[in-house]
Amino acid sequence: MIKNQVDCIVRFHDAKRLYELERCIFSLVGQKHRPLHIIIAVQRFTDAQIADTRAALVPLLSLPNPPAVTIRNWESASPNDARTELLNMGLAAATGQYVSFLDYDDVLYPEAYVILIERLKVSGNAIAFATVRVVNAEVFPEFIHVAGQKGEHFVGEDLRDLFRGNFCPIHSYLIDRSIVSPDILSFDTAITWEEDYDLLLKICAAYPSDFANVKKPIGDYYYKNDGSNSVPTNGMLSEERALEYKRIQAFIEGRRRTTLVAPEVQKQLGMRTISRSLTIRDALSGGSWAKWITRFAWCRERRNDTE
């Protein structure tokens, strides 16, 4: 594991959108932090498509002090939608202390990793959060026109808010791999939506997290008008996709109800009594109910110990 190195995993599944990838990689080349290793995870690309991708990035990587770049190709015919496998494939290629994620159609500001690493070093926590702007993007065949910010889209400010629902886009945080165990730092391939949120639930239940810069924008999320975002930008889902999204929401709720919250994280949440059997869902009951839920969990433990 290379100390202080950031590995950024970039998912890229559509070779026709190479100009969007170039913009994404440009934002990484401009990062103030080094060392930086970019892992581009592509989905069933031909040799010619990989060669075109490499050629398109040559001008950017010819700039002074460029980051290292690795391309990994998911070659298996299944699953059809391999976006979660791409993330795990990228993690398998990571060699640095820190890891982040960035989809090919989004960008980071030059100071992004400097800000996040500073918080990780100050707090000693496993993960540090910032936020990103949402910008309206009009998609044309050869370029994208950014038509201004789309207001405050990701609303939340702390761990309890994150446990309730995801307000932290995949490129708004940085993870310290020297702290998070590999069995937790992996994506569940049973889902292809909310896979990043599922990962956050696992990490943030197991290790303390840092939200000091959660209101500081470190990048842009492109809200595209051509429907190429994971969830359609018009807010509409087909009946089939709506049913799949309902299944994923049930999966996430199952994660909340079965994932235990570590004692250090319970302290971060302000729990007065620490329980070995407190789940995320238990902790979310909050307020005046938290005391009784924690007490119930403690009694359940004592009963199990005496049986």
Three-state secondary structure call for residue 221: strand
Helix (H) or strand (E) holding 298: helix 287-306
Token code pair at residue 265: 């994280």
Each residue's pLDDT tens digit, 73-107: 999 999 999 999 999 999 999 999 999 999 999 99
Let me know: does 129 contact 154? Beta carbons within 8 Å.
Answer: no
Q: Hey, where are the domains in the chain?
A: 2-257, 263-306
More confident residue, 4 or 136: 4
Let me know: does 14 contact 40? Beta carbons within 8 Å.
Answer: no
Which residues 6+ apart lie within 8 Å of 46 measured at CB?
none
Residue 155: pLDDT band with limits 50, 70, 90? confident
Phi, psi of 160 (to 5 degrees): -60, -40
Q: 2-257: what fold?
A: Spore Coat Polysaccharide Biosynthesis Protein SpsA; Chain A (3.90.550)
pLDDT of amino acid 135: 84
pLDDT above 80 (res 123): yes
Residue with tokens 């702390």: 158
Dist CA 207 CA 239 (whole Å): 38
- Between vectors from CA 23 to CA 17 and to CA 26, what angle results, nearest 5°? 140
Residue with tokens 């470190």: 218
Cα–chain-centroid distance for residue 271? 27
Say if strands 173-176 and 127-129 run parallel, antiparallel, or are unpaired: antiparallel
Mean pLDDT of 14-23: 93
CA distances from 220 to 23, 145, 165, 271 (A): 12, 13, 20, 35
